[in-house]
Structure formats: C-alpha cells, structure tokens
Amino acid sequence: MSTARPRVLLATCALLPQGEPGGDALVAALAARGVDAAWAVWDDPSVDWAGADLVAVRATWDYHLRPEAFLTWSRAVEDATVLLNGADAMTWSSDKEYLLRLSAEVWTVPSVPVEVEDVVGGLRPAFERWGTLVVKPRVGASGQGLVVATGLEDPRLLGLTPGPWLAQPLVASVRTRGESSVVLVAGRPVAQVDKRPGSAGDGGDVRVHEEYGGTSVAVPVDPDAGALARAAVEATQKLLGREETLDYARVDLLEMDGMLVVSEVELVEPGLYLDVVPAVADAFAEHLVTRLAR
C-alpha cells in the first residue's frame, strides 16, 4: 500500500510564479492535512499536470489575454487528472454573457451583449433604455477594458474594438457602497469581503479593485448576501446540467434599487481573499482533502 502524500498543483500565471497574495496560508493548510501543494504556471510546457492528484486553478490572472489557449489547457488537464470546478464551468464563466442566462434564475445586473462591428452604434438601444452605461469586455478580468459612458458622443467610447462587449446600466451604489464578494466552498458561503471604492461621487471610478484605489474588508457573511450567492451557484449548476456541487466560487453582489443583485459568478479562478481572510485557507483545504478521497 502506497504511503505517498497526495500532490496538488495550484495553477497560477507567469506574473505570480509564487501564487496569489496570502497563498502561503493555503499551502500550509494543505501540508497540515498531509497534502503536498506547489504553485505551477498554467502555460509552462514543462509542468507535468498529469502527475498531480488534483489541480486547482488559483491565480491565472492573465487567462483573458489568451482565452482559447487557456480553455484548451483546462480541457487537457481535466483529461489527465482532477480539475476543480471542471473545464465546462470555466468555459461558462469565462464569457460574461452567462449573466443573460443566469438572469432567468436569480436577480442580476441587467445586461445586453454587443457584438456588431459598429460597437458605439450598437450601444444605442442600451443608452436609450438605461442612460449611463458600463461597457465591459465579455472576456476580461479585474475591470480591465471597462468603460463608463454617458452617451453615444462620449469620448471614452473612442477606440472600442469590435468586442464582444457587454453593456449594463451604471449601478450608482458601486461608487458609494462598493461591491460585496461572497466566497463559497462546496456551495457553502465561508467568507464575505466588501470591496469599497477609493473615491465617491459622480466622477468616482466604478472599479473597486485595490489597483484602482479600492479597499477590501472582511465582514461577517450577511444572511441575504449569502443566500443570494448560494442561489446563484445553485442556478449555475442547474444551467450547466451539473448534479454535483461546484467546488468553489466567488459571487459578486451590488445593491440596485434597494435590493442585492448578482454582478458576477466567478468559477475560473475565484478569488479566495486569503490575504484578507486567511481562515478561508482551512475551509478550502478541507474540501480539497475531501475531493482527493473520492
């Protein structure tokens, strides 16, 4: 009988070869449970993914630059070993058009796809419906490429490529209250991080990421936020035709018209906020041990 310790590879990107902020806590939590874990760059051809007992995608924060290559990689890894969440969930979550399908199941930020060559002209119906818009790449990360525009003549729309893009109404609370992120492991909310804007008022940036001046604060999981996040993950499982619970997810929520709505369900590389809530490492490590035992 083999006494070798299970081996987990944590997929990251070349810009973060040592993994995500706070990632040492996850490696330590796994080691304490008898699991060896190491960081590996997803597009490094020398990595033996098949040699791992399980692969968890953690900090592949450049995947949106080469989405097809990344999704091809995810399918190859899934063919070779256990890939948390699975390649189908990553394909689904990598294109924000999923919000249109999800809106039939839970409250989401209203969204319309814009795929025409004349992107600015294609935004006309959305401007007529909502006024100020947030226009974002359907495949993107960390708010990169996002534009806020007040009308067709807004100079911020100049230079937009054919896309594809997603148009949404500007949710005013993102500039004052910010955004809440609920982390779920095996369908269970384990942490909430409120991302607060760095500036307020009409001129404030709608991006609450720290690189844009925002701050991330750990708070107790709000019952309403936790319930909506759980419902969003369950709805996603239904739409994917999944019977098994998704391994992990991050659900972003905004307050719109006095109620919480889903702005994103991240399944590719869900932020665990290990640097903000180190205890999440234990919950995630426990789940990985359970998955390894299947």
Query: Are residues 199 and 70 both part of a single domain?
Result: no
pLDDT tens-digit series, residues 15-26: 999 999 999 999
Question: Would you say residue 236 lies in a domain?
Answer: yes
Both tokens assigned to 256: 């719109």
How many structural domains does the chain have?
A: 3
50 is a domain residue: yes
pLDDT score recorded for residue 78 = 99
Query: Is this prediction's pTM over 0.85?
Result: yes
Under DSSP, the state recorded for 159 is T
The answer to whether 83 and 123 have CB atoms below 8 angstroms apart is: no
Planar angle of CA 176, 112, 185, nearest 5 degrees: 65
Domain range for 153: 112-170
pLDDT in tens, 229-252: 999 999 999 999 999 999 999 999
Place of tokens 């932020």: 271
Instruction: Name residue 261's beta-bridge partners.
Output: 254
- Are 153 and 37 in the same domain? no
Do residues 204 and 170 touch, judged by C-beta distance below 8 A? no
Same domain, 154 and 18: no
Classify residue 215: in a domain, yes or no: yes
| Percentage of the chain lying above the pLDDT 90 cut | 80
Is 164 inside a domain boundary?
yes
What CATH number should be reported for the domain holding residue 21?
3.40.50
On the 0-12 / 13-18 / 19+ scale of CB atoms within 10 A, 154 is: middle
Q: Whose CA is closest to 247, among 266, 228, 263, 261?
A: 266
Question: Does some domain include residue 162?
Answer: yes
Question: Residue 205 pLDDT > 80, yes or no?
Answer: no
CB atoms within 10 A of CB 205: 17
- With a cut of 50, say whether residue 202 has pLDDT above it: no
Instruction: Kindly state whether residues 119 and 211 are assigned to the same domain.
Output: no
CATH number at residue 214: 3.30.470.20
